[in-house]
Amino acid sequence: MRTAIRFLRYRVGGWQPLADALGVKADSLGKVLRGGRDVTARLAYGVARLTDASIDDLLAGQLLSPRTCPHCGRPPDDFVDEETVVTDRAPARERTVLDGGKQ
């Protein structure tokens, strides 16, 4: 739930616009995110309404990609859903050891 709130903050552009859309105070959102206040049913349903998701999906954590940052809520839109493959490596070069000698 907290990651979804952070995601929404990122999408709407700030804490105050999100608080206004959810009908709560921005301070209350901060307390929820810091763990000082529990998520209320009203807040959970508001988040579900804004994300167009079912409350069950939201509570199960299925709303967002598992790659969404749990700290800032930023979605992984800079990556595509494919594996990174290294096809070419630079040739190994001589390494300098800390004492100045060659390895």
pLDDT at 18: 92
Length of the chain: 103
Q: Where are the beta strands (DSSP E) in 1-103?
A: none
User: What confidence score (pLDDT) does residue 103 get?
Assistant: 52
Q: Which CATH class is domain 2-59?
A: mainly alpha
What pLDDT is stored for residue 102 in this prediction? 53
Tens digit of pLDDT at every position of the chain (103 positions): 888 888 888 888 889 999 999 999 999 998 998 889 998 999 999 998 888 888 888 888 777 777 777 666 676 665 555 555 545 555 555 545 555 555 5
For residue 93, the Cα-to-chain-centroid distance in whole angstroms is 39
The domain locations on the chain are 2-59
pLDDT at 20: 93
